[in-house]
Chains A and B, each alone.
Chain A
């Protein structure tokens, strides 16, 4: 694993190791498996060059799914992981964390989105969805083959918060932060804080005073 996140020498341009990829195809209950047979994606991916392990799992994100991936990394000497499951917006951090726990650099994990962008959108065309799931998995395998390890960049943190807007939400956020000993700048464009709340008479459901 490279120590310097930004290798100016570009040792990271091309991976130095032979890929040993593990592919995990998630059923997501019936969310994926209800539209396509995950085993077919597993069989297809298993034949791709560089893939040394290909298997389906009921819920890749569940403890059992993550345990399987972690155990396989040790057992099969995996140096890349492909998870064919849901959106990166949902679980990329989950699976990066999962492979990191098994000692793999988190950036050596690639996801294929075969749920939001496949089975959920192509319920009317199961054959098309299966072909697409295979292609998306293959693309993830291809990208994974050329992934290089990267390290997160550490930046310093200025210990001061800014809350923009001095209404009920902003005031409460500012107070909560200050009570944790964090200095806060509370910015309000009107001449007084209070926002809409200050204009209200009594408030529901307790019928108490707003200010």
Chain B
């Protein structure tokens, strides 16, 4: 902590929140809100006179509310930087602190929050985790029974810098507890709250037990556990040490804690798997080893940073195995528990790893980004012909399109992220996306539907989420119908209505229109553009009286392999439910309607030539001369 403050190249901004992140790799612009402390950092010398003078006392969250603090405060004595704060919610405006501060004149009640912008090349996200509040688990009585405490409360009670100066006392009567139980997996590995394992709590329970035993050798400690997980280096030995020092390990998840209301003694009912029976034991104090959960503002940060969340709410890495430090956004990296529960050694290691990933960029003079950007055909743009339009500029999540009536729209390449929203939205087909041109995507659609198109489920997927979901379905070996034929574009916003009409015209049995969940979009609001179009298409197909299930819209994250497989299987079932002759008749009935919507397809530069050539490929595939 102190090293960070002392390092001249690190600017520490505490009490500061990230409001907005704009830009792209190498060129982010981050807006920070420096919340006011009402104390001037350049004048405060950390003497603490204001705290002594302050008459207001409120619970100190840093001490898990076990001790009070003043309205003029620092959360802990080793605070870095050592600058005092005035908590304006608690302050009674007596100005005794101002008096005490005297000639320093560090306290300034006229200060306000400040918004500052910084230009940043790369970002490391290390926003950490939060603790599960066990209050909803009424069976453990937390909040009702004073001697049931959480792990973090134990941490402060047992800490020489804590509210009791390290004296272990039980909250009900201040006596020193002799029989202590620690219950593991409180809110973790529990389908009601968090199904996953919190990673470090087994070791954490053992640490607390050993520490208590060391400081109070006459204390008897029992740890209730489901499994003890000590896989890292030196951890099993640590566990052995605990067993040798007489700590009792009971395998079984307690079903209930009851209390004697007079003595506040606690009774834990639990199974003991080793003994094969239900046991009840009495304790003076019980510590609940809480699950690690995402930060309360993790969803908010996820949208500010434009990074997706895994099931459970943690930030999602680019690839769990190959790029575990990278976010899906180039130039943003993860460190520590914001990505999933991690202990200190793992967090430190990941901090170094993230620094190393970021420094690759920061040590370069320039960075390369993919050229899959949008380009306007100026001679096709209706604005150049004097028509008011600007649909492309409105669809663009990045403000990367210059639109002035009378001039052809222009893409500012450095700002373009290549989602293709403008391409999908342009009603005049005046924009294309490099590497995902209409000619290229149409060529894929034609080949994928070359043979028995009515049996096929054509799946449009975005690169970042639903394509990843399909990958995960495979990696997890979740089986689904082999009639699925997938193709990839960068974002659901690129899934032009023309592509869908053309697929139906060719006789596709069913089409999946899929992308990310709205909050996960790699392109800020690309999914919103895609979702609106999908909703329009749903209405159009309903009016055409298309059989239900032939057009399906689903938002599937890269973590939802199971959902991808389920959706495809459900689509297969809907397709199976339509009698073959009915389906074929419907395809024939709708073919001219689809064709009507596609009159201008051939005019898109490159498309006509491409389709002629694709027909040669398709002919080879079906082994006949003509295709639909």
Contacts and interface: CB of A to CB of B under 8 A. Distances in A.
Q: Tell whether A pairs with B.
A: yes
Interface of A: 5-8, 10, 12-14, 47-50, 87-90, 107, 113, 115-118, 120-125, 128-129, 131-132, 134-136, 138-143, 145-148, 150-205, 207, 210-211
Contacts of B14: 166, 188, 190-193
A179 B612 CA distance: 59
Contacts of B232: 205
A155 B613 CA distance: 36
A182 B475 contact: no
B124 A170 contact: yes
Interface of B: 1, 3-5, 7, 9-18, 24-28, 30, 32, 37, 62, 64, 74-76, 78-81, 83, 85, 118-129, 152, 155-156, 158-160, 162, 203-204, 206-207, 210-211, 232, 234-235, 237-238, 301, 305, 319, 322, 335-338, 342-344, 347-348, 350-352, 354-356, 358-359, 361-373, 375, 377-378, 413-414, 432, 434-435, 437, 439-441, 443-444, 446-448, 450-451, 463, 467-468, 470-475, 477-488, 565, 605-606, 609-610, 613-614, 616-617, 620-621
A158 B361 CA distance: 9
A14 B605 contact: yes
A155 B366 contact: yes
A155 B27 contact: yes
Contact of A175 (B7, B27, B128): B7
Contact of B121 (A5, A115, A157): A157
- Which DSSP category, helix, strand, loop or mixed, fits chain B's interface? mixed
A204 to B, nearest CB: 4
19 contacts: A14-B606, A90-B319, A107-B371, A135-B485, A139-B487, A142-B617, A146-B443, A162-B30, A163-B335, A169-B126, A169-B337, A180-B362, A180-B363, A182-B9, A182-B362, A185-B32, A188-B12, A197-B344, A210-B344
B4 A168 contact: no
A199 B128 contact: no
Contacts of A141: 447, 617
Contact of A6 (B361, B369, B434, B620): B434
A174 B129 CA distance: 18
A175 to B, nearest CB: 6
A176 B79 contact: no
B356 A188 contact: no
Nearest to B441: A143
Given A161-B362, A187-B16, 8 more contacts: A148-B434, A160-B362, A166-B12, A181-B9, A182-B363, A186-B12, A188-B16, A192-B80
A152 B79 contact: no
Given A132-B485, A160-B119, A205-B235, A191 B37 contact: yes
Contacts of A13: 432, 437, 439, 605-606
